[in-house]
Chains A and B, each alone.
Chain A
Amino acid sequence: MCGHCACGEPPVPEAPPAAAGRPVSLEDSLLARNNHLAAHNREHFRAAGVRVVNVLSSPGSGKTALLERLAALAPPGLRLAALVGDLATDNDARRLREAGLPAVQITTGQACHLEAAMVHRGLEALAEAGHPLTAVDLLLIENVGNLVCPAAFDLGEDLRLVLLSVTEGEDKPLKYPALFHSADVVVISKSDLAEAVDFDRPLAHRNVEQVAPAARLLEVSARRGTGVDALLELLLPASARAAALPVG
């Protein structure tokens, strides 16, 4: 028998054992270099007392619009800055600067995600533009629009914010569990369009909870400004805001 049916053929020989080589045990993390640089970024952030948020979602789900709105509604005196990643163009950084948010574009070329080293270079560019970390309270890093690759790359952030727009479909968290699992905060964006697209709110909430039960979940409409205050509170605890704002 061949081992699979009753055909009477002789068994197919097993694949020869892999050429016997001299084993060398390594146990290296493939992300060791990025993790090392992320830890380095984190030290910079701590030393400067800046809160850092990594903003992740699919393209077109409203990351830039949300950042524009955060800049518009942030309490006066709170110093915001942004790094924004895209494969090409500096459109988003220009949009953010027009919204009053100091922003540096990181163009990644072919890379589908931001890495800690790119963020480090972005910080240098922000400093050159007159916004050193010590003069920033909240740094928003808008990652490349992608629900897969950025999940694996720590940038040194305090919080991961993942957007799910109502127009994308309620099952995105189930389809891209690794990214949603890594979220500290999940924002359902474009909530003003929910009715128009028959958004199934309870289903979306269940799906987020299934993949990211520890994440804070809230709905935001950047267009209307609803939910933005609550989000700011999540991103920046009251104590940090009090410390950032000048007394009196």
Chain B
Amino acid sequence: MHELSLMQTLGERVLSVAAAEGAEKVVAIRLRIGTLAGVDPDALRFAAEVVLADTLAANATLTIEEIPATWWCAPCGADFTTPPDARACPRCGALSARLLRGQDLSLVSVELVP
């Protein structure tokens, strides 16, 4: 359950941005999570409710953009996207050792009022 400690970090960051901007409320939070980041989006949502309760961000809409694992296929000279437990190129079957994307764990943006 490290989703809770991640959301605590996130909550601190969101609230400090809101304070620095002089906002009254945080209405939206946008995250980007790779499917190989080792984080469960549902657990993050649950943790967000707990961490953000009774704060300026209590009712913020949490949008989680999931980024599928994208690999580089050297024989094909092109990338491909797979579910997290696979890494074989769907064109030629070669296994890729080079992950291009899929471990993202980012706070993309917030929306503030006013």
Could you list which residues of chain A lie within 8 angstroms of chain B, going by C-beta atoms?
Answer: 18-31, 33, 111-113, 148-149, 151-153, 174-175, 177-179, 181, 209-211, 213-214
Interface status of B42 (Cβ within 8 A of chain A): no
User: How near does chain B come to A113, taking the closest CB pair, in angstroms?
Assistant: 6
With A112-B1, A152-B39, A210-B88: A22-B114 Cβ-Cβ less than 8 Å: yes
Cβ contacts A to B, 18 pairs, < 8 Å: A18-B28, A18-B63, A19-B61, A22-B111, A22-B112, A22-B113, A24-B111, A24-B112, A26-B108, A27-B108, A30-B105, A149-B2, A174-B85, A177-B36, A178-B38, A178-B84, A181-B99, A213-B97
Minimum distance in angstroms from A235 CB to a CB of chain B: 20
Which label, helix, strand, loop or mixed, suits the secondary structure of the A interface?
A: mixed
Contact residue among B38, B105, B107, B110 (Cβ-Cβ distance under 8 Å from A149): B38
* Complex-state Cα separation, A153 to B6, whole angstroms: 11
Alpha-carbon separation in the docked complex, A149 to B47 (Å): 15
Contacts of B2 in A (CB 8 A): 111-113, 148-149, 152-153
Residues of chain B having any CB pair with chain A under 8 Å: 1-2, 5-6, 9-10, 13, 17, 21, 23, 25-28, 31, 36-39, 61, 63, 84-88, 95-97, 99, 103, 105-114
Pick from A22, A30, A211 the residue with the most CB of B within 10 Å. Answer: A30
Q: In whole angstroms, what is the CA distance A197 to B76 when docked?
A: 40
Find chain B residues with CB under 8 A from A174 CB. 85
CB pair B97–A152 under 8 Å, yes or no, is no
A23 touches B38 (CB 8 A): no
A119 to B23, CA, bound (A): 37
Bound-state CA distance A31–B27 (Å) is: 23
Q: Which residues of A contact B105 (CB under 8 A)?
A: 29-31, 152
Pairwise interchain contact A30-B95, C-beta atoms closer than 8 A = no
B residues in contact with A152, CB < 8 Å: 2, 37-39, 105
CB distance from A183 to the nearest CB of B (A): 12
* A residues near B27, Cβ cutoff 8 Å: 18-21
Least CB distance, A14 to chain B, in whole angstroms: 14
Nearest B-chain residue to A113, judged by Cβ: B2
Complex CA gap A179/B39 in Å reads 11
Do A18 and B36 touch across chains, with their CB atoms under 8 A apart? no
